[in-house]
Amino acid sequence: MKTEIYRQLDREHHLHPFTDYKALAEEGSRIVTRAEGVYIHDSEGHRILDGMAGLWCVNLGYGREELVEAASEQMRQLPYYNSFFKSTHPPAVKLAETLCRLAPAHMNHVFFTGSGSEANDTVLRMVRRFWALEGKPDKQWIISRENAYHGSTVAGMSLGGMAPMHAQGGPTVPKIAHVRQPYWFGEGRDSEPEAFGRECAAALEARIHELGEENVAAFIAEPVQGAGGAVIPPASYWPAVRDVLARYDILLVVDEVICGFGRLGEWFGSQHYGLEPDLMPVAKGLSSGYLPIGGVLVGDRVADTLIERGGEFFHGFTYSGHPACAAVALKNLELMQAEAIVERVRDDIGPYLAKRWATLGEHPLVGEARSLGMVGALELVADKAAARRFPKSLGVGNLCRDICFDLGLVMRSVGDTMMISPPLVITRDEVDELVRLAGEALDETARRLAGRESV
């Protein structure tokens, strides 16, 4: 079919996620038709370096035949069966065992879901159920952070801290509080980064006092906030949060949907920051995005209570542990181990990206260039010396993102923060290309802005 026909049918029938429908109808969609390695191709013949690994998920890159084989073999053998009613099947069992072996030692159970959002719905219900079984039914409050992203279902968006999402389709789930995020460039530049990291941890402690420890069930956070702008916390933040949590009996939920499976150079972001979570929602990189699957890794404290105190947990999904998705995830984890992907991020390609990405910090439009493992961000500013932002109305981030696409690079923008999260298998040459294209996009953005008076 011709591009224009796809575009027209898309406009007429397809409501996209997180989209302004009127604007999209005017501009038209990009039709992505195929992909290999770190490149996607569109219907107009463009080859585009996918600096976002799809949506932070195609960790092994596109075109891995082994994953295709794993799916088709499993679909021939057993395309579907559920894990309700005392049933299970080999791919779900093997995946559960493998995941628990890779996870921190105290995490020995997993609850499967179809996505990261469903994983966080599961988290919400599981932590409240845990405390009820412990005889503390008042422990219901969950503390999250402003600008966090935990999914788009009702529980996911309520746990998340995105004000525009809360404003649509509410009210949100009760008894969820949000504390300040450790976003130094965006909100903390009155203090030194390390002092700011401690201030954010102190805000968590203050909120625990306000709500009363006896009412607080859990604290949930991403190791590095992804959708909120690739927010890498100051080094002081996680140790200070750890200290706070050690003083109270509150569960720690670390959302590993983006940071899990090697993105920060460890199997889980928790390991990078030395955290011992009670629960870890996962998804995305679990299957490199080839098929939809998520889950919640459950630490022994919570699992023991759920199992020993008994009673049915009234929760689950038709596709919990779907055989084909589980088979692909299992193969994905096998390949990651065989190819030492996590070690490569930690010791080789992560440090290389860090070195190359930092050079973009010299660009006049960039107030900060930061990265960790295979996540990076650029803060676009109007005045580099004063690190002054552009007026929001200029939409500079989106302008830069569109220029990137035209030049052959996917970078995502949130406000005026540009983000990358490329496949973990990206080569050094491809990193060089990514950085070169990002630099050209910054030049072109600066050129287009130069003429505008309000800058």
Interacting residues toward ligand PMP by CB under 6 A: 55, 115-117, 120, 149-151, 222, 226-227, 255, 257-258, 283, 294
Of the CA atoms within 13 Å of residue 266, those in its CB half-sphere come to 14
Choice between 264 and 365, CB closer to ligand PMP = 264
Q: How far is the CB of 160 from ligand PMP (least distance, A)?
A: 8
Q: What share of the chain is helix, strand, coil (3-state, %, to 5)?
A: 45, 15, 40
Distance from C-alpha of 16 to C-alpha of 24, rounded to nearest angstrom: 9
Question: Computed over its alpha carbons, how large is the radius of gyration of the chain?
Answer: 22
What whole-number distance in Å separates Cα of residue 153 and Cα of residue 158?
8
Q: What gap in Å lies between CA 290 and CA 293, rounded to an integer?
A: 9
Based on CB atoms, which residue is closest to ligand PMP, 117 or 288? 117
List the one residue out of 425, 361, 444, 454 whose CA is nearest residue 50: 425
Q: Are 179 and 194 in contact (CB under 8 A)?
A: no
Rounded CA-CA distance 413/401 in Å is 6
Distance, in Å, from the CA atom of 141 to the CA atom of 174, rounded to the nearest integer, reads: 8
Q: 59 exposed, middle or buried (CB, 10 Å; 0-12, 13-18, 19+)?
A: buried
Cβ 122 to ligand PMP shortest distance, Å = 11
With contact defined as beta carbons under 8 Å apart, do 120 and 198 qualify? no
Q: How many whole angstroms separate alpha carbon 409 and alpha carbon 403? A: 9
Q: By C-alpha distance, which of 17, 249, 325, 293 is closest to 149?
A: 17
Q: Find the shortest distance in angstroms from Cβ 54 to ligand PMP.
A: 11
95 or 437: CB nearest ligand PMP: 95
Q: How far is the CB of 77 from ligand PMP (least distance, A)?
A: 26
The smaller minimum CB distance to ligand PMP, of residues 91 and 294, is found at 294
Nearer to ligand PMP, 160 or 350 (CB): 160
**What is the rounded CA–CA span in Å between residue 109 and residue 126?**
13
Looking at beta carbons only, is 3 or 152 nearer to ligand PMP? 152
CB of 291 to ligand PMP, least distance (A): 12
Q: Which is nearer to ligand PMP, 55 or 446 (CB)?
A: 55
Q: Which residue is nearest to ligand PMP (CB)?
A: 116
Q: Give the alpha-carbon dihedral of 399, 405, 408, 410, to 10 degrees.
A: 100
* Token reading at 438: 């990002």
Q: Six-digit token pair at 33?
A: 């038709």
Distance CA 286, CA 325 (A): 10
Tell the smallest beta-carbon distance from residue 335 to ligand PMP (Å). 21
Write down the least CB distance from residue 222 to ligand PMP, Å: 5
309 three-state secondary structure:
coil
The residue with tokens 């049933």 is 87
Q: Rank residues 296 and 365 by Cβ distance to ligand PMP and give the closer one.
A: 296
Q: Tell the smallest beta-carbon distance from residue 117 to ligand PMP (Å).
A: 3
In whole angstroms, the minimum distance from the beta carbon of 150 to ligand PMP comes to 5
Choice between 152 and 215, CB closer to ligand PMP: 152
- In whole angstroms, the minimum distance from the beta carbon of 292 to ligand PMP comes to 7
The position carrying tokens 């990002």 is 438
Instruction: Using the minimum distance from each CB to ligand PMP, give the nearer residue, 107 or 257.
Output: 257
